[in-house]
Chains A and B, each alone.
Chain A
């Protein structure tokens, strides 16, 4: 298929959502069926209840056969066709049971004319009418269950106003290219992911992150497509379009998650797969059993039909996916993306939560807090800033920002080199400058003893001390601190309240790490961990039970995968997001608490649903076998069971997380 054709096809089919299409189709079938079934019911009931015969018996049979025909073979066409097709291809489905039940019941109408058995053809039409009614109600409920997820699909902007020269022209969103400059007026949706190049405004990001407070944006800030610009005009340069945007990623994650399995569902799946053929066999046996013992073919057929229509694996099959869908929908609304259904179940067993420090508990944006130097502060920062401007490390950026803030002009460097895990070195203005931690100084035999007390003091405050030396002489130290995210303390407190064990893992030295952990309220700290060893530490902690790992960086990916539940910060790197079982769009620790609550609530709902579905079948099938249920009542019970399961899943929406 060509791209053009493909686009055409997608557009065409996305006009009416498939859920709505199916709902409309069931509604139509339901109304049409009842128009014919109500007269049938009047004819049958006036005869059975009051003994009034409006027509002579055989004429009445023919009238009912004529009225019932369209109900079963026209309005029920798809069901009958699917069901019979399933029987012949051995791909049984629940339509197979309804198809068999109604077709056999209808056929008794002809047999009754020659006087062999009782006429069930009217009953067959009623079964089909109740079946379509049940399906209609179920489709409404299912549509509701998917509401949150569908909202995501329609969240994206349709148009964008791009700048061509001095002119603003409105184009379809599909025509926006990377690098285009887009003007976004107050109240408008930001069309695609980009970076602000001009203007200042507050942006409502609640639809993406669940964060209710608007976020201030100015030149240089990134903006997310589908969020709403509130008060100022923003000019943004498109950085991502189409399938690469943040919204598209979210949609993909959520959609794919719906196909993942929750382990508890396995038993239900197994039962569903053998259910239909098993019931067909049971139903045939039931017929012979009753016929043999009662010699009453009519009664035997009635009971066999009841067994066919009451036994529906549908409730069993809907139990898990509907709850998962409602759960992920609520999650998506709150910025919690469940990527794997399994995580919902595993979360229940997790007792230990391991946090990466930088960017997870802390903001991940270190700032300079202290400058202690024996030379002029400006000269000191000029040397440090000039060397650091070549490095990409967050601490380097903090120092460079500090220099810029103080309006210090930075100069070029030669022979720049990174000493991984230690610091950097290079040549500034003819001086050999080294900037880094104790290890770097020790390795180069530079004496920093004079500053040791001050370094210890900074570390006790949870700051990282950076030693700056030039020509083998220490010039001073810089204290850099990475502040806690505003909600970290509260989130950790809530986790402790729910008796979770919390552990912080970091590459920082013991002292700094302990100080940060103390601030956050975390008691256990694993410090001095090299990036590649985080995974090993997770394995060690797993010896005492299931763990969840919360992290954001590239080097967290193996640990996220290793943990029983990996929770990735959506503000982090793509790799971390790909490795997480749950992604937190907002990227704060409150999200961890919410993700746990949501998982538990969703899993409880799945268990409830499975219980009711099993319970229904365990009660209903024997009742039908014993001949206590009329086929129409059996069908009503069946339809009710499916609707109940979906309805129960919908109750999850009232849950506060």
Chain B
């Protein structure tokens, strides 16, 4: 189990946050996603997931990843 903390740019409404949650959840190996609209943070719990797939999913719904931290 690994935890990622992403900083996301371009999120400005609740549906943005919900969309990112929905898109990331679909990536294989993602256990939990929580997106905070207010802090621009996205917390992801993964197990054997491809991080590139997650990045792609977020980009596909139209948002930019400003930073990735591993916890």
Report which A residues bind B (CB closer than 8 A): 1, 6, 9-10, 13-14, 18-19, 21-22, 78, 81-82, 85-86, 89, 91-95, 135, 139, 142, 145-146, 149, 243, 255-256, 258-260, 268-269, 272-273, 275-276, 313-314, 316-318, 321-322, 324-325
Contact = CB atoms under 8 A, between A and B. Distances in A.
Which of A9, A18, A85, A325 gathers most chain B CB within 10 Å?
A18
A259 B11 CA distance: 14
Which of B13, B18, B34, B41 gathers most chain A CB within 10 Å?
B13
B15 interface: yes
A93 B16 contact: yes
Contacts of B49: none
B43 A256 contact: yes
A139 B67 CA distance: 21
Contacts of A82: 10, 62
B38 A321 contact: yes
A50 to B, nearest CB: 39
A1 B70 CA distance: 11
B62 A146 contact: no
A276 B68 CA distance: 30
Contacts of B37: 317-318, 321
Which of B34, B39, B66 gathers most chain A CB within 10 Å?
B39
B13 A322 contact: no
A258 B8 CA distance: 14
25 contacts: A9-B68, A13-B66, A18-B7, A18-B9, A18-B40, A19-B40, A78-B10, A86-B62, A92-B19, A139-B12, A142-B38, A145-B38, A243-B71, A258-B38, A258-B39, A259-B39, A260-B34, A313-B15, A314-B13, A317-B18, A318-B13, A318-B37, A321-B14, A321-B36, A322-B38
Interface residues of B, number: 32
Contacts of B16: 93
A329 to B, nearest CB: 10
Interface in B21-68: 22-23, 34-43, 60-62, 66-68
A256 B35 CA distance: 9
**A-B residue pairs, 5 tightest by C-beta:** A317-B14, A259-B34, A258-B36, A259-B36, A93-B15
B19 A93 contact: yes
A1 B51 CA distance: 11
A1 B68 contact: yes
B45 to A, nearest CB: 11
A93 B40 CA distance: 16
Nearest to B16: A93
Which of B5, B18, B22 gathers most chain A CB within 10 Å?
B18
Chain A at the B interface: SS class: helix
Contacts of A1: 68
Given A9-B68, A18-B7, A95-B13, 6 more contacts: A21-B9, A81-B62, A85-B62, A145-B38, A259-B41, A259-B42
Nearest to A254: B39
A93 B39 contact: no
A434 B15 CA distance: 67
B41 A258 contact: yes
A530 B34 CA distance: 38
Contacts, number: 103
B41 to A, nearest CB: 6
Given A146-B39, A255-B41, A321-B37, A91 B13 contact: no
Contacts of B61: 85-86, 89, 91
A55 to B, nearest CB: 37
A268 B13 CA distance: 13
Contacts of B39: 146, 149, 255, 258-259, 325
A93 B41 CA distance: 18
Contacts of A260: 34
A318 B18 CA distance: 12
B66 A94 contact: no
Contacts of B62: 81-82, 85-86, 91
A324 B17 CA distance: 16
Contacts of B19: 86, 91-93
A145 B40 CA distance: 13
A145 B23 CA distance: 27
A28 to B, nearest CB: 15
Contacts of B43: 256, 259
B67 A317 contact: no
Contacts of A149: 39
B49 to A, nearest CB: 16
B38 A325 contact: yes
A93 B18 CA distance: 9
Contact of B23 (A91, A142, A243): A91
A415 B18 CA distance: 63
A269 B14 contact: yes
A628 B60 CA distance: 38
Contacts of B10: 78, 82
Contacts of B36: 255, 258-259, 321
Nearest to A642: B13
A374 B22 CA distance: 75
A92 B18 CA distance: 10
B23 A13 contact: no
A568 to B, nearest CB: 21
B14 A314 contact: yes
A300 to B, nearest CB: 27
Nearest to A82: B62
A259 B35 contact: yes
B7 to A, nearest CB: 6
Contacts of B35: 259
B23 A22 contact: no
B18 A273 contact: yes
A94 B7 contact: no
A91 B21 CA distance: 11
A10 to B, nearest CB: 6
Contacts of B15: 92-94, 272-273, 275-276, 313, 317
Given A142-B38, A255-B41, A258-B41, A10 B18 contact: no
A318 B38 CA distance: 9
A135 B7 contact: no
Nearest to B43: A259
B22 A91 contact: yes
A13 B67 contact: yes
A381 B61 CA distance: 72
Given A142-B38, A258-B41, A269 B7 contact: no
